[in-house]
Amino acid sequence: MADRYQQFVDSPPGRFMTRRLGLPQPAPLRRGPDLFDGPVLVGGGSVVREVLARIGAHVLDNADEYDALIFDATRIAATRDLRDVYTFFQPAIRSLAPSGRAIVVGSGEGVAQRALEGFVRSLGKEVRAGATAQLVYAAPEADLESTLRFLLSGRSAYVSGQVIRVRAAVKNAPRDWDRPLAGQTAAVTGASRGIGAAIAEVLAREGAHVVCVDVPAQGEDLAAIANQIGGSALQLDITSDRAPAVLAERGADIVIHNAGITRDKTLGRMSEDQWDSVLAVNLESIERINTALLEAGDVTRIVCVSSVSGIAGNRGQTNYGTSKAGVIGIVDALADDLAKRQGTINAVAPGFIETQMTAAMPLATREAGRRMNSLAQGGLPIDVAETVAWFASPGSAGVNGNVVRVCGQSLIGA
């Protein structure tokens, strides 16, 4: 559904009026898989410089405008050292280009490192014109290339104010960064439309053969998506007793748990069926399927779709919020086990995404969802899909146990 307010802001009269009235100013976001090719300013230690050289980033010390400002804060160990972050960003922040990136790389150890989270989240609420801010905690010997490629491109357009942790892991850089999933099979549940269809399309673009999974009632739409991307369709109710075995037999390298339902009611009005059905689809099915996948031993990447509702809660969604918080619990519970198998499990937590579901919301609720984030607009299904693809990449072997919000830095939740 078109965002008419954003279209109005993009017009000269709309821009003039909304600025005079102090209304939100959503800027067009720079989307797409290509790496930014503008100047990058780097400060602090030397951890990121080698990675940026491999990426081919144009690191410059003097430019009128920068696509990215990156500060290596891994050497910060005491509170007084935090002045270095201020000294780097304060004179440069006004030179950040529209849809630019402010990135801090830290070690994550100690009081001063924890303080960086408050700095980055606050900075994300100050930058304008579609710019974002992120914090990456890197373990010693962690491979940051996949993560910096994601953050320094339009793929991370709707991700801001996030803390990403990269562990040390066996380096497994893709042979081709344009098609890092070539030769792999990815299964995507709930793939017939919306976010699931976008995930299937992006994973296919990245080179994977995609098995599109959805219930038989969505068979026609499912087949259309599978045919469009050169994948295959699997009509399957993931809550059925046979679903775990069927998916395990497919031998997928990558599994994306995207399928989900809502049955919204306040708790006092919620029926047992409304509670049970949401928990069965959104949480229990994932647990059962993961057990079968890990027993089969083929899967190397598991990505779950959670929600901001699972982090911050939402009125009328005690069932949905419970299930999506449980999804985060699955990530926490299995991350170490997957690491031992040289695999990963992560989750995306979408905020307000422009889908058929959000298009059906009442106008006031829909507008509040769009504006109540640092980017003052709704995200698109491809924003979630691009984040999923980053998690799924062979180069993301150290990106494990993360929950990354794709919400434009929503003003609710952490």
Give catalytic residues, as residue numbers: 320
User: Do 42 and 59 meet the contact criterion of CB atoms below 8 Å apart?
Assistant: yes
CA gap 403, 386 in Å, rounded: 14
Could you please report the per-residue DSSP string of 178-223? TSTTTT-EEEEETTTSHHHHHHHHHHHHTT-EEEEEE-GGGHHHHH
Token look-up 């003039």 returns: 16
- Alpha carbon dihedral 394, 287, 318, 306, in 10-degree steps, equals 10
How are the residues of the chain apportioned to helix, strand and coil, as percentages rounded to the nearest 5?
A: 45, 20, 35
Q: How many Cβ atoms sit within 10 Å of the Cβ of residue 271?
A: 10
Buried b (16+ CB within 10 A) or exposed e, 261-270: ebbeeeeeeb
User: Do 43 and 115 meet the contact criterion of CB atoms below 8 Å apart?
Assistant: no
Q: How many Cβ atoms sit within 10 Å of the Cβ of residue 249?
A: 12
CA gap 153, 99 in Å, rounded: 10
Separation in Å, CA 11 to CA 6, 16, 24, 201: 9, 9, 14, 32
Specify the 3-state DSSP secondary structure of 176. Answer: coil
Nearest Cα to 246, choosing from 289, 299, 302? 289
Nearest Cα to 392, choosing from 215, 295, 258, 250? 258
Cross-strand partners of 233? 212
CA gap 221, 258 in Å, rounded: 16
